[in-house]
Amino acid sequence: MLDPIDLKKGTVIKLDNELYTCTFSQFVNPGKGSAFVRTKLKKIKGGNTLERTFKSSDKVEDVELDKKYVTYLYTEGDQIILMDKDDYEQYSVSIDLVDDIVQFIKEEMPFEVQFFEGLPVSVSPPNFVELEVTYAEEGLKGDTQGTAKKRVTVETGGEVMVPIFIKQGDRIRIDLRDISFVERVNK
């Protein structure tokens, strides 16, 4: 059993005999009354989403998952194809599991996939990825005051906000947890 406060994005739980992935979790401690955890849960089979509030005293049934480390091969329709480098077995996973970062995935990127009874239920990408900037408008000369930002396009087609000193051809590190610029990387 799991305390609701331990629910994080990507945690898989069993609720009403169905498997759900936690997509959002927020601990709330109001000034008056008892604390609770507000969550958004996505049903693994079917993809339905529900919002659920748990009291801090509630217990949630967690699920024992098998983990495998795989690499990204390619995208085919609404599936991404991943391969286990140890035994070369390929897995087809719904693109919904990586929907927010699909624009930043490149070949050979490592992933951690969690399986429940042979069914992939959770895909965890690396926290950071280094990509080359393929399109960036020139920053205005003298516009270096404060935290001026501009939108650039990276080699995988994704767009991210960066400081104005970033130019086309630069390599940048992106945090995939919140799709944000971290730093410019030396080649």
pTM beyond 0.75: the answer is no
Q: What is the pLDDT of residues 135-155, one digit of tens each?
A: 988 866 665 566 778 899 999
Tens digits of residue pLDDT in 68-94: 999 999 988 888 999 998 889 998 888
- Please report the domains of the chain, with CATH numbers, ordered by start residue: 4-62 (2.30.30.30), 66-124 (2.40.50.140), 128-185 (2.40.50.140)
How would you write 151-180 as a 3-class SS string? EEEECCCCEEEEECCCCCCCEEEEECCCCE
Is residue 62 predicted with pLDDT exceeding 90?
A: no
